[in-house]
Amino acid sequence: MPATGLYVSPTGNDNNAGTLAAPLATLQRARNLADAGQTIWLLEGVYNTSNQLSWGSLSFPNPVYVRGFDAGVVLEGLSTTGLGIGLAFLNGGGLSDVTVRMFATGVFANAGTFDVRRVTVDNTALPFNFRGTVSATVDTTVVTGTPATAFAGLAVVEETASLTWRGGQFMNVGVATPAFFVRGQATFTAEDVVIANIRGAGLNVWDNARATLRRVQIADAGQVGQPGAASAAIYVGAQNTGTPLTTSITLESSSVTASRGAGIGFVQYNRATQQRITLLDSHLDGNARAGVEVIAPTLPPDGGLQLTATDTSFDNNGLDGVLMDRGFVELSGGSLQNNGAHGLRLVVAADNRLVARGTRITGNRGHGVWFNGDGAAQLDLGTASDAGRLTFGVPDAGSSNVRLQAPIQGSAVGNVWAANEQGADGTGRYVAATTFGTGSSGRNVTVLDGGSLVVQ
């Protein structure tokens, strides 16, 4: 029984009725005949300039659904340069079971509810662009063969659009462009996606955008040719002018490994920025720079950047596990291990705050925790009423498990330290409360700049 809707075939005729037995020839004719909410079924074949009218910028003003009826439906453009759009959905609808190739922009949507399923986009400069107020969902879709003309991202989400992307892969992309680029006030969620071996970032998040990754794997990514944090697999930034920003990114059961730069990199561009990074049961391991790297020397003093990590590892990175100019950090469980420099470092003498419970901090080439701060800073690695339960190892000569460089009294009670060092017993415990003041230096604790640290 044929599905209801209009049928199109490259061998059809626009004078036909648009049935399965008498299909139309062009998508343009079907678009003109379709009612809102109707489905346009594409029969097997290649739809291109030889059999379509005004091919290259086909707009659907009404919410319609374009679906492949058979396998082997290909929508083929003429060039990956210029401003041409393969299919533009201006008021919702959907696209499924087709291949889109050789366009400057493959699929565009800017309003209503839009649904994409089982689509392959090949050799297209900008495969997907979601903007305006559209609420889009993409399932089981693959992007391959990105051309040298690629720009801005394989899927761009901007303005106040929202996108949920489920399943699919971005792999072996030879152009330095991000897989996903989210900016403006857009919202992005990715679930069960694999991003690997690409020359750009796996994700760029700019301005007031929000991104959530669930069960996403990003490996061998990072912007080629960019310095420092800008080469990260997940790059968070802001443009130079405009109003203050609030950006957030959340990773749940996800991994960012083997990137060319940091796992997550944040660079501030002279704007007041409230940045939130939340990591749950995730892994930022084996990256060329830090697991998380924040270059933001002028963040607002009220917790401009907050990193919260639960059961998350920052291990085996080329530099630090976590490297931040300044900010608020909360760690629960997880690890900072075997990094090429320090486990965690807060660089600028500012109102930084670090709270850690149940984290393993061992095997780093530098300090386990290097905490800089001003008189308003807070270092809480465990208190008498709430033990830290941190596990430290034996650091390299010249390094300490905790280096406090701030005129404050920090607390590090209820932890396991390097055994038989600076008064710790053979099990790495301090039997009684011990205060290390400025000038203290050893493998467990070093204190500078008028500070003190209570341990037990």
Q: What is the DSSP string of 115-139?
A: EEES-EEES-SEEEEE-TT-EEEEE
In terms of Cα–Cα distance, which of 339, 240, 255 is closest to 289? Answer: 339
Which residues lie below 8 Å from residue 230, measured CB to CB, with a gap of 6+? 223, 237, 261, 265, 267
Q: State yes or no: pLDDT of 313 exceeds 90.
A: yes
Amino acid sitting at position 197: N
**Contact between 318 and 287 (Cβ < 8 Å):** yes
Distance CA 127, CA 409 (A): 54
Distance CA 8, CA 45 (A): 10
Distance CA 235, CA 62 (A): 36
What is the model's pTM?
0.92
Query: Token pair of 361, please?
Result: 């901090």
Task: Place 84 in a pLDDT band, splitting at 50, 70 and 90.
Answer: confident
Q: Which of helix, strand or coil describes residue 323? A: strand
Distance CA 298, CA 309 (A): 23
Rounded mean pLDDT, 67-90: 86
**Contact between 380 and 355 (Cβ < 8 Å):** yes
Q: Which of 138-147, 150-159, 381-390 has the highest mean pLDDT?
A: 381-390
Task: Place 273 in a pLDDT band, splitting at 50, 70 and 90.
Answer: low
**Contact between 56 and 84 (Cβ < 8 Å):** yes
In terms of Cα–Cα distance, which of 35, 37, 40 is closest to 19? Answer: 40
Task: Place 78 in a pLDDT band, splitting at 50, 70 and 90.
Answer: confident
Rounded mean pLDDT, 306-329: 95
Distance CA 144, CA 153 (A): 13
Query: Token pair of 421, please?
Result: 């060092």
Under DSSP, the state recorded for 225 is T
Which residues lie below 8 Å from residue 32, measured CB to CB, with a gap of 6+? none
Return the pLDDT at 172.
65
Q: State yes or no: pLDDT of 64 exceeds 70.
A: yes
Whole-number Cα distances in Å, 261 to 190, 194, 291, 323: 22, 19, 9, 12
Q: State yes or no: pLDDT of 188 exceeds 70.
A: yes
Distance CA 259, CA 299 (A): 26
Q: State yes or no: pLDDT of 298 exceeds 70.
A: no
Q: State yes or no: pLDDT of 20 exceeds 50.
A: yes
Q: Which of helix, strand or coil describes residue 209? A: coil
Higher pLDDT, 327 or 224: 327
Task: Find tokens 């049935």 and name the residue.
Answer: 19
Which range, of 46-55, 295-304, 335-344, averages the lowest pLDDT? 295-304
Which residues lie below 8 Å from residue 257, measured CB to CB, with a gap of 6+? 218, 219, 263, 283, 284, 285, 286, 287
Amino acid sitting at position 79: S
Higher pLDDT, 300 or 413: 413
Task: Place 225 in a pLDDT band, splitting at 50, 70 and 90.
Answer: low
Q: State yes or no: pLDDT of 297 exceeds 60.
A: no
Rounded mean pLDDT, 244-261: 90
In terms of Cα–Cα distance, which of 405, 375, 374, 379 is closest to 390? Answer: 379
Query: Token pair of 63, please?
Result: 């919410």
Task: Place 1 in a pLDDT band, splitting at 50, 70 and 90.
Answer: very low
**Contact between 142 and 179 (Cβ < 8 Å):** no
